[in-house]
Amino acid sequence: MTAPALAPRDLAPAPGPLPGAPRMLTGDRPTGRLHLGHYAGSLANRIRLHHHYESFFVIADLHMLTTKNSREEIAEIGRNAAEMVLDSLAAGLDPEHSVFYLQSGVPEIAELSLLLSSLVTVPRLQRIPSLKEMEQHAGQREMPFALLGYPVLQAADILGAQAAVVPVGKDNAPHVEVAREIARRFNRRYGEVFTVPALVPADVPVLPGTDGKAKMSKSLGNAIYLSDPPGEVAAKVRRMYTDPARTGPGVPGTVEGNPVFAYHDAFNDRPAEVAELKERYRAGKVGDAEVKERLTAALNRFLDPIRERRATLAADHGLVEELIVTGTTRTRREARRTLADMRAAMGLTAALAGFRRAARARAGTPEDVRDRG
Ligand code: ATP
Ligand code: MG
């Protein structure tokens, strides 16, 4: 990782998007707290973009159900959702300029998904590698129907909110491509209803795990969480994997692919210190212990303002919950509007409207046969 430190030291409120700004939509499944990998891979990008776009963040519990749907997992949705929103706000998303919504609280998304599913084929979806990976990851021997439809459900969120941009990680990019195809196909077939969303790829490499595995991930147990206290960060860094070929501080080490340096590159706000440490490491003139101590200090410098802000937000009881409730209501309004436009463009309202007219004419009493749905 060669990008400069990601840390936004200044968490002061910044100006929001201009009125009528295009929309952004992205989100996460509510499966747990956010970690440094989420920060590097998506949150940093969101924080930067949300000053320029009207921003919708989906808490994708329906997506979660495609692989995790036990009663126990479902019972955790509320807590996980609240923690994730808290993490996002603490990291720098401004609550004034962020619409957080609970996907299952917007039933229109399910209807949108169903209508959109006619515009994509099964082989097209089967070719998406991330779905196969999710299937294996979830310990499934066969593809659940809902998991195959994962990108279509995602298209429903994106298109339902008429999002113009969708910032996602590399693994999710093919799903946004599906949403673009569906939007174009719909517009061609039925008339221009949808904004065709643009993908904003995260241009950062995947953050490795503390165990040296390619990816920091909750389920691998190799993550440093944004909400970890300083002592916990220190302990995780002490246990962190480094260059396995290096047997002592006097032995020249490899910096490339070494997670300790990947984290230094991504989060240490002192590039001169990082450059000096790398030089000494390559020359066999520094011990792992010092490199790690400096990393702990850097990570805690990065996390301290986030922790502070998190504590303040958490002390405001009901704040996060209120944001999710108002965001869900707001999104529902948008999705209803899109759905009505869609049904009208498709001509899907014509048959029932015709039946109603005929029924009214026959009964002669409009009250009795008025739409009760
Ligand atoms: P799980 O172990 O349950 O899969 P996770 O920790 O891998 O959880 P996800 O919910 O799969 O987290 O990640 C959501 C998104 O966050 C990913 O699509 C990706 O964009 C980003 N992300 C997660 N982990 C990393 C990472 N280590 N490096 C970069 N981006 C990441
Ligand atoms: Mg994952």
What the block records as the tokens of 177 is 């491509």
Ligand nearest to the CA of 32: 1
- What was the pLDDT predicted at 275? 98
**68 close to ligand 1 (CB < 6 Angstrom):** no
- What was the pLDDT predicted at 126? 95
Distances (CA, A) of 34 to 6, 15, 224, 235: 16, 25, 9, 18
Centre of ligand 1 from the C-alpha of residue 217, in Å: 6
Ligand nearest to the CA of 209: 1
| Furthest-apart CA atoms within the chain: distance in Å | 96
- What was the pLDDT predicted at 2? 38
**48 close to ligand 1 (CB < 6 Angstrom):** no
Atom of ligand 1 nearest to the CA of 168: 20
Antiparallel, parallel or unpaired: β 54-59 and 198-201: unpaired
CA dist 225 and 228 (Å) reads 5
Mutate which of 42, 73, 228 to test ligand 1's pocket (most atoms within 8 Å of Cβ)? 42
- Contacts for 86 with CB less than 8 Å, ≥ 6 apart: 227, 310, 313, 314, 320
CA dist 283 and 301 (Å) reads 27
- What was the pLDDT predicted at 43? 94
**215 close to ligand 1 (CB < 6 Angstrom):** yes
Match 């990816």 to its residue by tokens. Answer: 215
pLDDT in tens, 213-270: 989 999 899 999 999 999 999 999 999 999 988 988 899 999 999 999 999 999 999 9
Collect the ranges in the chain with pLDDT lower than 50: 1-5, 9-10, 373
Contact 170, 206 (CB under 8 A): yes
Atom of ligand 1 nearest to the CA of 208: 27
What the block records as the tokens of 30 is 């509510």
- What was the pLDDT predicted at 19? 81
- Minimal-distance CA residue to ligand 1 atom 22: 38
- What was the pLDDT predicted at 366? 59
Give the number of other CB atoms < 10 A from CB of residue 193.
17
Backbone angles phi, psi at 333, to 5 degrees: -60, -45
pLDDT in tens, 175-211: 999 999 999 999 999 999 999 999 998 777 789 999 9
The dihedral of CA 358, 360, 363, 369: what is its sign? positive
Centre of ligand 2 from the C-alpha of residue 266, in Å: 20
